[in-house]
C-alpha cells in the first residue's frame, strides 16, 4: 500500500480488498451516499468526499485529517487479504466474498453507531438514512456550509430533547430508545469508552443495559464501532442465510463479523 499527497488529495494505491461500493453499500454505515463517481458523507464531525479509480482511492482531505480520522475509520492498516483468504476456505463464503471482496469493517464513532442501529430496528436502509439525516439537520452542528453537512448530535444534545422534539425526524417507537441511550450516556451511567476493553460477551451485556438495545443492535455496535470482529449480528437476512447454507451450524472463528458482512451483502443483492 502506498499513500501520498496529490493536488490537495490523499491517494492510496495498491491496497488489497478495498472497494468503496462494497464498504458503503453493505449496510454497516448510513451517512455516506453516492453522488456521481463520488461517495460523500460525515464521520467524527468531518465531511469527506472520496472516489476510486481502479487501484487508487482518492480522499479529498488534509493529510492531518487523513492520519487522525480516515486512516483508522477505514481500517487501512489491517491485512484484509489474510482474512479474505482465510474465510474463503468455506465454499459459501468463497462465493459471497467473490461478490464483494472489497468490504472492510469501518471503525465508527460509538455513540453515532449506537443511535444509528437503534434507528435501524424493524426498518429498511433508505428510511434509516432519511431518519438519521433529519436527526443531524435538526439537532447536529453545521460543519460545512458549501455542502450543507451536519455533524451527528452529541449525547448531551439529544439528552436535552423530548419525544415531542424528536417527532420531526419521524423515527416512531425508536425515539424513546434514543432518548434513553442519550440520557444514560450523558449522565455517566453508561460509558461507551469502557466497551473497547470488554470482551464480546461482557460488551454486549453492558450495551444491553440501554432500553431497546438487544442482541442484534449490541452486536452491530460491537462490530461496526469497536471493531470486535468476532461479533455476529443476526437479522432477518442472516437468519435466512444460516437456515439456507448452514443448517448444521457455523464457525467463522475470530472473523465472524466479516463473514457476516460478506453473507449479508451477497444474499441481499442476489435473492
pLDDT recorded at residue 96 = 96
Q: Which helix (H) or strand (E) holds 40?
A: strand 38-43
DSSP state, residue 56:
E
Say whether pLDDT at 106 is over 80. yes
Per-residue pLDDT, averaged over 49-68, amounts to 96
For the cut 90, the answer to whether the pLDDT of residue 247 exceeds it is yes
Q: Average pLDDT, whole number, for the chain?
A: 96
Model pTM? 0.95
- pLDDT for the residue 164: 97
pLDDT range class, residue 271, cuts 50, 70, 90? confident
- The answer to whether residue 54 scores a pLDDT higher than 90 is no
Q: Is the pLDDT of residue 245 over 80?
A: yes
Cell of 99: 461478490
Listed by start position, the domains of the chain span 2-77, 110-224
**How high is the pLDDT of residue 270?**
86
pLDDT by residue (tens digit) across 159-210? 999 999 999 999 999 999 999 999 999 999 999 999 999 999 999 999 999 9
Q: Give the Cα separation of 182 and 229 in Å (integer).
A: 26
Checking if the pLDDT of 243 tops 80, the result is: yes
Q: pLDDT of 168-178, one tens digit each?
A: 999 999 999 99
CA distance 122 to 243: 20
* CATH code linked to domain 110-224: 1.10.340.30
How would you label 2-35 residue by residue, b for 16+ Cβ within 10 Å and e otherwise? ebeeeeebbebeebebbbbebbbbbbbbbbbeee
Give domain 2-77's CATH number out of 3.40.50.300, 3.30.310.260, 3.30.420.10, 3.30.70.20.
Answer: 3.30.310.260
As a whole number of angstroms, the distance between CA 46 and CA 186 comes to 22
- pLDDT band (50, 70, 90) for residue 253: confident
| DSSP 8-state symbol, 248 | T
**Mean pLDDT confidence for 210-219:** 96
Q: What is the C-alpha to C-alpha distance for residues 221 and 201, in angstroms, rounded to an integer?
A: 13
Same fold, 2-77 and 110-224: no
Amino acid at each position: 500500500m502506498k499513500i501520498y499527497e496529490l493536488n490537495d488529495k490523499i491517494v492510496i494505491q495498491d491496497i488489497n480488498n478495498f472497494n468503496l461500493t462494497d464498504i458503503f453499500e453493505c449496510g454497516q454505515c448510513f451517512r455516506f451516499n453516492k453522488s456521481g463517481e463520488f461517495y460523500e458523507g460525515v464521520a467524527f464531525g468531518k465531511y469527506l468526499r472520496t472516489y476510486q479509480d481502479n487501484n487508487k482511492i482518492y480522499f479529498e482531505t488534509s493529510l492531518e485529517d487523513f492520519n487522525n480520522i480516515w486512516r483508522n475509520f477505514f481500517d487501512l492498516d489491517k491485512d484484509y487479504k489474510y482474512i479474505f483468504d482465510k474465510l474463503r476456505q468455506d465454499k459459501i463464503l468463497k462465493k459471497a466474498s467473490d461478490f464483494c471482496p472489497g468490504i472492510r469493517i469501518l471503525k465508527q464513532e460509538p455513540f453515532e453507531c449506537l443511535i444509528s442501529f437503534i434507528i435501524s430496528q424493524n426498518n429498511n436502509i433508505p428510511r434509516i438514512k432519511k431518519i438519521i439525516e433529519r436527526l443531524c439537520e435538526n439537532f447536529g452542528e453545521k460543519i460545512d456550509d458549501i455542502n450543507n453537512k451536519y455533524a451527528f448530535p452529541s449525547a448531551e444534545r439529544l439528552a436535552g430533547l423530548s419525544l415531542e422534539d424528536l417527532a420531526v425526524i419521524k423515527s416512531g417507537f425508536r425515539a424513546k430508545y434514543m432518548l434513553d441511550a442519550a440520557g444514560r450516556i450523558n449522565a455517566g451511567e453508561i460509558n461507551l469508552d469502557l466497551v473497547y476493553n470488554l470482551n464480546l460477551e461482557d460488551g454486549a451485556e453492558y450495551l444491553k443495559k440501554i432500553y431497546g438495545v438487544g442482541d442484534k443492535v449490541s452486536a452491530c455496535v460491537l462490530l461496526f464501532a469497536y471493531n470486535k470482529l468476532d461479533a455476529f449480528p443476526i437479522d432477518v437476512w442472516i437468519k435466512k442465510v444460516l437456515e439456507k447454507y448452514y443448517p448444521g451450524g457455523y464457525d467463522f472463528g475470530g472473523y465472524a463479523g466479516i463473514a457476516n458482512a460478506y453473507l449479508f451483502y451477497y444474499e441481499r443483492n442476489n435473492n
